[in-house]
Structure formats: C-alpha cells, structure tokens
A and B are shown apart, each in its own frame.
Chain A
C-alpha cells in the first residue's frame, strides 16, 4: 500500500555530559516545524534515544505516516553537537595566588579548562610539597605566570623551574603568561617548542589582561583534548548559532548554559562577532566541596533546607549528574546553585546592556516552570536595562551551530517559529533607597485602554501580564539615584516590551540583590519573589512582591 502523504525529517541532537536532548523537525507542506522532542540521561545510549523518539513520533504524526516512521527516522538528516568527551586538565604555577595565579586560573577556566592544581610561591607550602604536588598531578597542559612586564622576577623563574622539574620532557605543552622580559629564559627550560609565550596575564600591578592567554588556551583545548571535529563541540557550536541569531535579529544577545559539569556563555553582537566563555568547573557539579558554597546556596534558595542538607545535594549533583530532583526542596537548591554558577560565569565580563538573554540546556531551559528559568536568568545574570528573556526549550541552537556558516542563519530562519520560547521582557534597575520608589512604568498596549502607571519600590519585583505575541510600549521614569544602565538625557525612558510565558517583569531588587540578614525575613522575601513570578496572572492585574 502506498502512503498518500510525504514528509521530510531531520533530527537535531545535543549530547551533554549528563543528558542527551533530541528534537525531530519535519517539513510538511513546505514549512519546517518542531514535531517532537525527548531528553534522557546520556548513559542510556543512542539506541534508546532513537527508540523514544520513534515512540513519540508514532503517537504524534498522521496515522498514514506512522508505519513508515522507523524508516523515515533512520534516513533523516542528523545534526549533532556534543560536550567534549573529557575536560582538559591544566596546572597553574605562578608567583602570587592573588595576582598572577588568580588571573591565570580565571583565564584557564574561561577557556574551558579544568584547573587540576594551582601552585603559587606564596601558598604556604614548602618547596618540597609544591614539587611533590606538581609531580603527582595528572594534567594535559601547564600555565606559568609571574612578574610584571619589563621586569626580571627571580620568583617567576622559580615558578618556571618548578614546572621544569616536575614535568616529563615532551609531555603536555607549557604556556608562559608572565613577564615579557623572561620569555626566552623560560622557554630555554623546556625542549624546543615545548613552551609557548603569550601576553602577560598581569602586565603591571594594576592591570589584568587574561584575553591573550584565554584565546591561546581555547585553541589549545581543541588540539590537545578535543581532537574530534571542533565544530560539533557544543562549546563552539552554541556561540556560532548565537552569533548568527544576533546578525539576523539585529540584537545584542547573551546565551547561557549551566551544564552538569561545565558552563558556557556566548555574548553576540548584531555584527555577528561573539565572545564565548567556557568554564570547565562551572556546572552544577562544580560547587561540591567548595568551601562556603553549600551555605551560599542554602541562603539563596531559602526553602532548600539547612547547609548540611544542601552540601549533600551538591555532592549528589557531582556524583550522579543525570539524576533528577524529586522534591521541591532539592529543585530549589539546584536552581539556586545554577544562579550561583551563572553569576560566577559572567563575573569578570563587561556585558553591558543586552537586548535578549537566552537560557539553554537542561538546567535552565528544562526547568519545570518558566518562572524558575526566568529566576535563574534574572538573579544569576542581573541584566540591567530592558531585556527580553527566552529559552532554547527544544535544545536546537547547539545542533544548528554545527552547520556550515552560510546554513546556520538559514536553519534559524526555517525554525524561527519554534526556535525560542519567549518568557517576556525584564526591566532591571540599580540603585535607589530601600522602600522608596525605584521606577514608575506606564504600559501602553495598542488597542487596550491606558492603565495607571505601575510604581515599583526598591527591593520589589512586579509582574505585569503580557502574553506571548503581544507588544507594549513602556515609559519608564527612574526614581532618584536609580539607573537602567545607559546614560539618559530625559527623565523618561521609552522602550518596547514583548510578552511571553511570564510577561513584563519589573525588577527593582538592585545589582547585586541584597537579602535581609535575618533568616525569617530572607525566606519570606525569597518566597514572595518566587510567588510573584510563578503565580498565574489574572488578566490585567499586576503581581507584586
């Protein structure tokens, strides 16, 4: 029997370190639409993923196509990205823990490396202990830093000699990111081409310059660890897709993915240029065992239990990254951990005002309620000004970023209807005095009667309903000492807001968010913010906290 209906399918797969996500897109009557998607632990394997997709497809498609679904799925184009098979491990040897060591560590983490050990000449250890530590660590590369440019620091040479003593000749590459005066001397400690000089991470006492080392290490990561085709790495593909989206939309976009092990951020400009950051230990697992992290997460979550309970959860996220939170308390702690890691991911980046923030990956885009995803983005990133929020709910941006340059925009264009789940628009301000008016916002919606301005006090979070597909013109009047980021000539700021699953979020909680010291007050305030975002709105009524 022949089937009287034809279709064309493609499968977009994003294989993370803990979870694999697959979406099937299909073309029917000339339009590409998202047909179905599944997510499962990566350990379950490709066969199970295929089986689950098939089961969903057979239930979702035209009954005449169902018997042929297996054949169609098997022959469908597969567009896949994945997390690097294993993290690149690096050792940092430096003169000062605070200056050269700290800068080198941040550069290495921002480039996607996992810092296996950091040894500095002021770390309180004996020379013998430092050598023993360096000799016992397993690493793929070494970074040495120390001395300001134009100076000859004996201590910097000692740090280099420590590495020369601990490293086997011909093993992992060495990068010198210290004083330019010492570059030749340091290189002479290693075999020919064993050591590469890059710009000093601390060229003078008052300036840090991590970009040259970070860029060098990003390239090295691809050659040393991720030998597979680099365009299929999620860390490469996601920023490419965001770059193409920025060009197509003319927006300044920040995308963030807090994964099980690592985290990625990609900041793309309307001209298509982008700056990506990959933090090897920036995922949910990265907080386990870090001094103070359990207390911080417990404090930020408010309803996740005490510090000891949260410490156990953070260890569970490390040891069983594919498992899921079953209780509200564990989910709350997981999301608080994601907010901490999101803040840490962008802490040393000059991000400025953004037009659109996109949450990607299972932790953010897979949150059970859009309000929880919005909270991770808002609290973690604190995007000052007027910013649209959205989710890569179908996990298709990463796979699309693996396409050739000229096809990414085309792919985005074809899937535009299903590409992003809009959460709404956030107006985030900074400054002001607690309890006093932070901003007065008038919302004009075409075809709707004008409503009274919404007054938001410092420390408050309010939500004005604005459904997906709706637009509103905003007139924002900041209070005394309050700013939305950019300088202004007029006491009123005009902006356009688009709606989404949450609506218009008016956030005057400040940057950073200040929480009450008293536990009961803090928990009450956190709960009120949570409820303001999550409550189902009555039409036209603001939600206030």
Chain B
C-alpha cells in the first residue's frame, strides 16, 4: 500500500530534488534563506532628498526580496543599493530610512519521510510513501524518524521511565496506555526520536511541553522529539489489534509528525482499519469513559434507545469486553476495528 505525504515549501525555498527522486527520511529536499533581524538603511540621506520626496524614489515595494547590490532607491543618478540579500520590510517617512531583514545562510528543509517525489510546485512537494499511515488524535513536537521499538508487554501497560534505555536512542518507542512527563523527559534526554502511545493525560503532555519550551529558551535542548497519541486522552491503552500490528513491524523504519498526529511505517502491511457504525459480531473499541480504550465484541444492538448513567438516551449496543465484563455502550462511542489481513 502507498500514501501521499505533502511537504509545504515556504516562499523562496529552492527544491534540490526532481520528480521521480527516491528520498530518504534524513535527506535535504530543499533549502531556503530565512530573514534575520532587521536593520535600517538610510535612503533619504543618500539621495539628498527629504524623507517624503525620497519615498517616491523607492524602486521596490515592502515585501520584496532583493539580491546583494540590487537597487533599493534611485533619484537623479544617485542610487541606494542593499549590501546583502535581504527582504525590504518598510520605509520610515519620519527619518527616511528603509527597514530590511538580511537573509541568513541556507537552511535545509528535511522531509523526514522515505518515498518517491511525485509532484513539485511553488507551494510544496508530494512524496508517495510505500507503507502505512496511522492518524492519531493528538500529539506534540515536529517530525522525526527512526526504527520502531515496542517497549511494553501489554497494550494497556504504562510506559515507565525505566523502560527507556540506551537501546531506545534514535528510535521511535511504542508504549501503551500512558507515560508521565518524567518518562517523556527521560526519553528525550536519552535521545529517543519519538514516542507513540495509546493515550496520555493532557496535563502530562502540557507539563512536558512547558518544560521543553523553558529548556529551549535557555538553549538546553537540541534535536527534535515528537509524541503521537493514537486512541485518546487519559489512561487509554492501544487497541490490542493495533498493538499486535506494531509488534509485527518492530524494527521497521517509521516517521512521526507530532503536531499533526501522523505516523508512517515503511514497507508495512495495512494496519487494522476503523469503521463507524459497528454491527453485531464486530470487534469494537470504546472511546469514552468508563470504557475508554477497551476492546471487545459487539454482541447485540438494543431495539430501543438506552439511557446511559449520564441520562443521555441513544442507540446502544451490548459489548462483551475482553476480560469478561459486558456493558451497554452508546453506538456513537464505538468503532469497529477490522482485523489485519493474514493475521
């Protein structure tokens, strides 16, 4: 199976690859020169004009990119040129100066995915990826890649700090039902590329983000790190079917995108699919408390709407959860999970 991944290119980015190129996750696909801190260039003084008159002599409008030596303003044989490549931002009518932002050195744009470049346009490029895409419900961080390593034994097991060892360095660690902010901090400190979990407390995620932001401000962290949640927020385990799929693909290369909650696993079989509106006999996953993250079998649809403990009356089903207990669950809180082909 294959999926298409799109990479946005900012204005001024120069692609380094062509359509048909086979890109590796760490490969630089394009470069750009970002603007740096602003500086002022006297215009009126150099043209020997008043600030108001000099404004009419500008050759470019704010927002224009200029190369080194390119003309900024011109009048009666006198001209003002920019000393280096820059972005012209504004002209000050009070003192007759131009505010420009010099362009810094080339900055690489890394794709973080493995695939074939299938299209390139002004706004971005598309790569066709041979593998599986999982879309989660939340996450944090940028794009990272590494080999998959399953660190827990059960889909509902918490990922603890002690499970993060040197073997996890540079890898994407798959955990179970949650991880504390301390575990995430240790993982980052140990050089783990990223973490995939069933669930995580929103508070733990925010605490972790806050500590990372503070460390960044004082220059204490380098490199990227990402977390993706696949099932929900809170103590929510991975779907056992999904957990088995991850185990079957341990050691495969994967890329994860924290802020957009996407996981690509290369050269992988299709993951267990999800479907709304399950039917009797389907394997299902429940998404709300008190059953959030639990898997089971939908035994029967109730003939009439059923009122939950909250008082909400809705179409409901009897579900036999793994481990034995049976419960009535609103159908809207259930998703059918399709078995992995060949599993």
The answer to whether A binds B is yes
B1 at the A/B interface (Cβ < 8 Å)? Answer: no
Within 8 A of B (CB), among A468-507: none
Query: 1/0 contact trace for A127-153 toward B, CB 8 Å?
Result: 110011001101000000000000010
Q: Which residues of A contact B232 (CB under 8 A)?
A: 312, 315-316, 319-320
Among A41, A126, A314, point to the contact of B332 (Cβ < 8 A). A41
B77: chain A residues at CB < 8 Å are none
The verdict on B202 contacting chain A, using a C-beta distance below 8 Å, is yes
Residue of A nearest to B328 (CB): A326
On whether the beta carbons of B311 and A154 are closer than 8 Å, the reply is no
**CB-CB under 8 A for A327 and B290, given A40-B332, A128-B35, A165-B63:** yes
Chain B residue with minimal CB distance to A326? Answer: B308
Partner of B62, one of A132, A164, A294, A316: A164
**A-chain residues with CB within 8 Å of residue B234 when the two chains form the complex:** 309, 312, 316
Q: Is the CB of B333 within 8 A of A312?
A: no
Nearest Cβ in chain B — how far from A426, in angstroms? Answer: 22
A340-378 vs B, Cβ < 8 Å mask (1 yes, 0 no): 000000000000000000000000000011000000000
Decide yes or no whether A158 CB sits under 8 A from chain B. yes
Bound complex: CA A238 to CA B233 (Å): 34
Q: Is the CB of B101 within 8 A of A154?
A: no
Also in contact, A323 and B333, with CB within 8 A (given A127-B37, A308-B202, A330-B288): yes
A48 contacts the other chain (CB 8 A):
yes
The distance in angstroms between the C-alpha atoms of A163 and B137, with both chains bound, is 32
| Also in contact, A324 and B314, with CB within 8 A (given A44-B277, A161-B63) | yes
Residues of A within 8 A of B101 (CB): 127-128, 131
Q: Encode B10-40 as 1/0 by CB contact (under 8 A) with A.
A: 1100000000000000000000001111100
Task: State whether the Cβ of A307 lies closer than 8 Å to any Cβ in chain B.
Answer: yes
Q: Which of A132, A160, A320 has the most CB of B within 10 A?
A: A320
* Most chain B CB inside 10 Å of its own CB: which residue of A126, A311, A312, A368: A312
Tell me the bound Cα distance from A52 to B330 in angstroms.
15
Contact A325 B61 (CB under 8 A): no
Question: Closest CB of chain A to B286's CB: distance in Å?
Answer: 9
A138 engages B8 (CB within 8 Å)? yes
In the complex, the answer to whether A312 meets B233 with C-beta atoms within 8 Å is yes
A447 touches B (CB below 8 Å)? no
Q: Which of the residues A164, A165, A323 comes within 8 Å of B287, measured between beta carbons?
A: A323
Which of A165, A294, A330 is B87 in contact with, Cβ under 8 Å?
Answer: A165
* Residue tally, chain B, CB below 8 Å to A: 55
A41 touches B276 (CB 8 A): yes
Chain A CB within 8 A of B162 CB? no
Cβ B332 vs Cβ A323 within 8 A: yes
- The chain A residue sitting closest to B65, CB to CB, is A165
CB within 8 Å for A158 and B99 given contacts A326-B330, A328-B309: yes
CB atoms of B89 and A328 under 8 A apart: no
Q: In the complex, how many angstroms separate the beta carbon of A134 from the nearest chain B beta carbon?
A: 9
- Docked-complex contact B63 and A164, CB < 8 angstroms: yes
Residues on B with C-beta less than 8 A from A166 are 11
Q: Once the chains are docked, how many angstroms separate the CA of A217 from the CA of B232?
A: 35
Across the interface, do B201 and A327 meet the contact criterion of CB distance under 8 Å?
no
Q: Given A44-B277, A135-B10, are A165 and B89 also a contact pair (CB < 8 Å)?
A: yes
Q: B-side binding surface: helix, strand, loop or mixed?
A: loop
Partner of A164, one of B10, B61, B203, B330: B61
Q: SS class of chain A's interface: helix, strand, loop or mixed?
A: helix
Q: Which residues of A contact B291 (CB under 8 A)?
A: 326
Whole-angstrom distance between the alpha carbons of A48 and B315 in the complex?
Answer: 12
Residues of A within 8 A of B34 (CB): 128, 131-132
Q: Among residues 262 to 321 in chain B, which have CB atoms less than 8 Å away from a CB atom of chain A?
A: 276-277, 287-292, 307-315
B62→A189 contact, CB < 8 A:
yes
Which of B11, B99, B290, B309 makes the CB contact (< 8 A) with A135?
A: B11
A518 at the interface (CB under 8 A from B): no
A136 to B312, CA, bound (A): 42
Does B122 belong to the interface (CB within 8 Å)? yes
| Interface residue? B104 (CB, 8 A) | yes
Q: Which residues of B contact A46 (CB under 8 A)?
A: none
B201 pairs with A308, CB closer than 8 A? yes
Cβ-defined contact, B312 with A325, below 8 A: yes
CB closest residue in chain B, given A307: B203
Residue of B nearest to A165 (CB): B63
Which listed residue (B123, B312, B329, B333) contacts A331, Cβ 8 A? B312
Instruction: Tell me which of A154, A157, A320, A324 contacts B308 (CB under 8 A).
Output: A324
Pair A128/B332 contact, Cβ less than 8 Å:
no
Would B308 and A168 count as touching, CB distance under 8 A? no
- Taking CB atoms, residues of chain B closer than 8 Å to A294 are 202-203
Residues on A with C-beta less than 8 A from B36 are 127-128
Residues of B close to A322: CB separation below 8 A? 332
Question: Is the Cβ of A154 less than 8 Å from the Cβ of B63?
Answer: no
| A74 CB-CB contact with B under 8 Å | no
In the assembled complex, the CB of A319 is this many whole angstroms from the nearest CB of chain B, namely 4
In the complex the two chains form, what is the Cα distance from A325 to B310 in whole Å? 7
Interchain CB contact (< 8 A) of A154 among B61, B90, B276, B307: B90
Q: Which 6 pairs, one residue from A and one from B, show the smallest C-beta to C-beta distance?
A: A164-B63, A368-B311, A161-B62, A319-B137, A315-B233, A331-B310
A-B contact list, 21 entries, CB within 8 Å: A41-B332, A44-B276, A127-B89, A128-B35, A128-B36, A131-B87, A161-B62, A161-B89, A294-B203, A308-B202, A311-B202, A316-B234, A319-B138, A319-B233, A323-B333, A325-B288, A325-B310, A325-B312, A326-B290, A326-B309, A327-B290
| Given pairs A311-B206, A315-B138, A326-B290, 17 additional interface contacts (CB within 8 A) | A40-B315, A43-B276, A131-B87, A135-B11, A152-B93, A157-B62, A158-B89, A158-B99, A294-B202, A294-B203, A312-B202, A312-B233, A320-B137, A324-B314, A324-B332, A325-B312, A326-B310
Q: Which residues of B contact A (CB under 8 A)?
A: 8, 10-11, 34-38, 61-63, 65, 87-94, 99, 101, 104, 122-123, 137-138, 201-203, 206, 232-234, 276-277, 287-292, 307-315, 329-330, 332-333
